[in-house]
Structure 1
Amino acid sequence: MDIQQLSRLSSHELCQLIHKIGHTPIQPLDCVVERHAHRIHLKLEGENPTGSMKDRTGYSLIMDIENRGLIQPGQTVIESTSGNLGVALAFLCKAKGYQFVAVIDPKTTQENSTKMQMLGATLEKVQTPDQNGGYLLTRLARVQQYCQQADYVWTNQYQNPANMRIHYMQTGPEIYEQMKGKVDVIFVPVSTGGSLAGIASFFREVSPSTKIIGVDAHGSVIFGTPAGTRKLTGIGSSQPSSFIHKGLYNDYIQVTDEEAFAMCRILQTYTNIIVGGSSGAVIAACMRYLTTVPDSGNIVCICADRGSNYESTIFNDEWIQEHHFHLPSDNFYHFSDTLSPPIITTRYDHRFMSEAQIS
């Protein structure tokens, strides 16, 4: 369902659509790295209702503030977002009858800004970069200004345990079931760290030998590396994560803008799989990992959103040239253009998403 159709649905119809959050397919993909054939598995989170993994996060955050009695009729939800969570919260707030303010920045794509507005959100755009070259800290300062007024409720994706909880209770178990319990390595994009923390916590319990690899943007400070500017959105951060500690991951890999964007365009050209920048980063990190660890077994790459959110940026030749990116286009990894059938969740435990919670 496209965003125009979504925006025309009634609150009741939107509430019914919340049932479709999750259950995303895993797409096997064959490739060759350093003359070794591999099959990797892409967890396609773009199949969520608004097109990203943030539908899961947004749902969990809204349920948390409701369950704790933090929001009342007439109050407004507010959140800092680079794009996808804002779209998810706009969808959920419209379903629930809340007003929503999204604090965004110049890196938010036009596609995501339009989606948020079509779903009834008010956009507040900051323009000043923070001291680390991004906009996160500036966005958070603006949220704090709003929250000095009594009518605003901040979901706080950066510190609210509900962020990681949904991935512990839903995303991790989905992957485990779809892969029949055989997962050797998982590559997870990191921003707030909630998805990595939740997925890793689940696998540490059920499959301690599974390696968790965090994927970060070059210029992000999440893992203590130097700050710098970056064009990637939905991955990386200007501040450390409150959810991640060293025991949750085995290693991390940083990916440049050019590596991520090139991977997105190569996948589109040779496989017709269209994913966003953080997904390109995750797959690029996976390819780099396989050059040094060729016998890696069953690999899952979390692809956080679909590429339709980036038609004006990553998949736009003029934008690429404007920002002086030089992207290789060869199919270095011999991605197969003949795709195996996706792996679908066949059963699901609805304890976390019951009818009573979402109707």
Structure 2
Amino acid sequence: MWYNNILETIGNTPLVRLNKVTRRLKGTILAKIETSNPGNSIKDRMAVKMIEDAEKAGLLKPGGTIIEGTSGNTGMGLAIAAVVKGYRCIFTTTDKQSKEKIDALRAFGAEVIVCPTNVDPEDPRSYYSVSSRLQKEIPNAWKANQYDNPSNSLAHYEQTGPEIWAQTEGKITHLVAGVGTGGTISGAAKYLREQNPEIKVWGIDTYGSVFKKYKETGVFDKNEIYPYITEGIGEDFLPENVNFSLIDIFEKVTDKDAALMTRDLARKEGIFAGNSAGAAVAGLLQLGASIKDDDVVVIIFHDHGSRYMGKMYNEDWLRERGFLEDEKLTARSILKKRGEQAIVTADVAQSVVETFNLMKTLNISQIPVTQQGMVVGKVTESDILSSLLENPMLKSSPVEEIMTKPFPFVDLKTSIDKISSFVNKDTQAVLVEDAYGKINIITQYDIINAISEP
């Protein structure tokens, strides 16, 4: 058996039991792994549905241009379909989206315009507004408008909901999903509720989004809106595809809990999923007390971990945001292991020979060069040797004449892996400013010493 094109492989994704991250919960917890779609996300389903419905309605014509504001996954689905069907794609996205998502869109030939995150949707610079303007300006252009396009929800009513019902043999009691455009949860919930009106539907939201308060009070509160890190869920407006009547409750999850659970899914379940999956599992854990032994909970895992390599799967990124404790050696722990040690510097006005004698006396092989207390360069033994071999007269010249660029600065949370990546034959040390503003130097010897000590 074979498929006529890659679009025919969309859907029929596996349902996999979670065992470790949800071990304290009762019931059976299942993940709908949408990463097996060709674009590695659930958005492939609705992307093709929106295009096919637009073609039938005469809104998208041969040789046309598909325009959309996307966080990456819908764009990927649209881009794949556009390659097969012969359309041009222009996508707008926000500057908070991972580089991997943007690079992936461009890999399929799409044009991507990055817009600022921290502006109102109505602002002409927002990715919503820019996409709408392009749709008006470009001939034969169609905007998918995933937020308000009913084909989004319909795709999940026709595909995702029936798949879940069949895979659980009608035993599903709870549907859990992150809510962004609302199409996934609303479409699947509509179908499942038609089969069993008792099924609970839990939407996962993030702090900085308006959904939870609007569901609970009916009030759209702009004070709820502020920047957040979690990708793929939450909004600062109310998409038409979010059917609040089908969603029983919204649960907010912090950026930190979402990021760490995303990481745990790979480490504890072997599932390489995206940020919204981590948020959904973290949200379920917060709500889990009401789950009973015979309940069957299905969580939507929207997309793939490869889209988040520079973020949730990057330990230095996690540490920089205070999300990760010091499991590995960091600049702070290296300094602690080494103990107090005064940094030696050379002033730019010192002669080369004075600097060399200082290094020889203190038995050090490299030294930062300062000007009025600021680090402006460095000098190593090899710098001095090569300079004097080339011109012996330089020994009485100011050291600034032979200094090279400064050692790189790192912060106290920087991991030993990242520090080691800076250290090479040209850069034998890094500088770090401690909590009191004092500059310290970490040398290759310090790194080796810290690793070898128990």
TM-score for the superposition, normalised by structure 2: 0.66
Does residue 20 (structure 1) correspond to residue 18 (structure 2)? The answer is no
The correspondence for 1:61, drawn from 25, 50, 65, is 50
Correspondences of 1:180-199 after superposition (within 5 Å): 180-199=169-188
Partner of 1:289: 287
The correspondence for 2:302, drawn from 296, 301, 304, is 304
Partner of 1:179: 168
Partner of 2:371: none
**Contact 2:22 2:285 (C-alpha < 8 Å) held by counterparts:** yes
**Contact 1:21 1:49 (C-alpha < 8 Å) held by counterparts:** yes
SS of residue in 2 equivalent to 1:269: helix
Q: What is the alpha-carbon distance in structure 2 between the residues aligned to residue 33 and residue 127 of structure 1?
A: 36
SS of residue in 1 equivalent to 2:177: strand
**How many residue pairs were aligned?**
316
Residues 300, 100 of structure 1: CA spacing in aligned structure 2 closer, same or farther, 3 A cutoff? same
Q: Which amino acid aligns with 1:254?
A: K
Correspondences of 1:108-123 after superposition (within 5 Å): 108-123=97-112
Q: Report deviation, 1:137.
A: 8.1
Q: What is the alpha-carbon distance in structure 2 between the residues aligned to residue 37 and residue 16 of structure 1?
A: 42
Residues 170, 128 of structure 1: CA spacing in aligned structure 2 closer, same or farther, 3 A cutoff? closer
TM-score for the superposition, normalised by structure 1: 0.82
Q: What is the alpha-carbon distance in structure 1 between the residues aligned to residue 103 and residue 21 of structure 2?
A: 39
Q: What is the alpha-carbon distance in structure 2 between the residues aligned to residue 118 and residue 291 of structure 1?
A: 44
Unpaired runs of 5+ residues, structure 2, are 215-220, 328-454
Does residue 138 (structure 1) correspond to residue 126 (structure 2)? The answer is yes
Q: Report deviation, 1:75.
A: 2.2
> Which consecutive segments of 4 or more residues in structure 1 shift more than 6 A?
134-137
User: What do you get for the CA RMSD once the two structures are aligned?
Assistant: 2.4
| Range with greater deviation from structure 2 (30-39 or 62-71) | 30-39
Partner of 1:343: none
Q: Which amino acid aligns with 1:168?
A: Y
Does residue 240 (structure 1) correspond to residue 229 (structure 2)? The answer is no
Q: What is the alpha-carbon distance in structure 2 between the residues aligned to residue 327 and residue 197 of structure 1?
A: 37
The correspondence for 1:314, drawn from 309, 312, 329, is 312
Q: Report deviation, 1:81.
A: 0.4
Partner of 1:221: 210
Q: What is the alpha-carbon distance in structure 2 between the residues aligned to residue 35 and residue 98 of structure 1?
A: 48
Q: Report deviation, 1:323.
A: 2.9
**Contact 2:26 2:293 (C-alpha < 8 Å) held by counterparts:** no
Q: Which amino acid aligns with 1:257?
A: D
SS of residue in 2 equivalent to 1:208: coil
| Range with greater deviation from structure 2 (296-305 or 315-324) | 315-324
Q: Report deviation, 1:64.
A: 1.4
**Contact 1:217 1:236 (C-alpha < 8 Å) held by counterparts:** yes
Residues 121, 32 of structure 1: CA spacing in aligned structure 2 closer, same or farther, 3 A cutoff? closer
Q: Report deviation, 1:327.
A: 6.1
Residues 27, 136 of structure 1: CA spacing in aligned structure 2 closer, same or farther, 3 A cutoff? farther
Q: Report deviation, 1:319.
A: 1.6
Q: What is the alpha-carbon distance in structure 2 between the residues aligned to residue 208 and residue 31 of structure 1?
A: 30
Q: What is the alpha-carbon distance in structure 2 between the residues aligned to residue 66 and residue 107 of structure 1?
A: 32
Q: What is the alpha-carbon distance in structure 2 between the residues aligned to residue 131 and residue 208 of structure 1?
A: 37
Q: Which amino acid aligns with 1:263?
A: M
Q: Which amino acid aligns with 1:140?
A: Y
Does residue 105 (structure 1) correspond to residue 94 (structure 2)? The answer is yes
Which structure has more relative contact order (CA 8 Å, sep 6+)? It is 1
Correspondences of 1:6-85 after superposition (within 5 Å): 16-31=5-20, 37-85=26-74
Residues 74, 87 of structure 1: CA spacing in aligned structure 2 closer, same or farther, 3 A cutoff? same
The correspondence for 2:146, drawn from 157, 162, 174, is 157
Partner of 1:88: 77
Unpaired runs of 5+ residues, structure 1, are 1-12, 330-359
Q: What is the alpha-carbon distance in structure 1 between the residues aligned to residue 326 and residue 257 of structure 2?
A: 9
Q: Deviations over 1:303-354 (max 9, x none)?
A: 101111111111011222233324698xxxxxxxxxxxxxxxxxxxxxxxxx
Residues 217, 182 of structure 1: CA spacing in aligned structure 2 closer, same or farther, 3 A cutoff? same
Q: Report deviation, 1:202.
A: 0.4
The correspondence for 2:263, drawn from 262, 265, 281, is 265
The correspondence for 1:148, drawn from 132, 136, 140, is 136
Identity within the alignment, %: 32
Partner of 2:118: 129
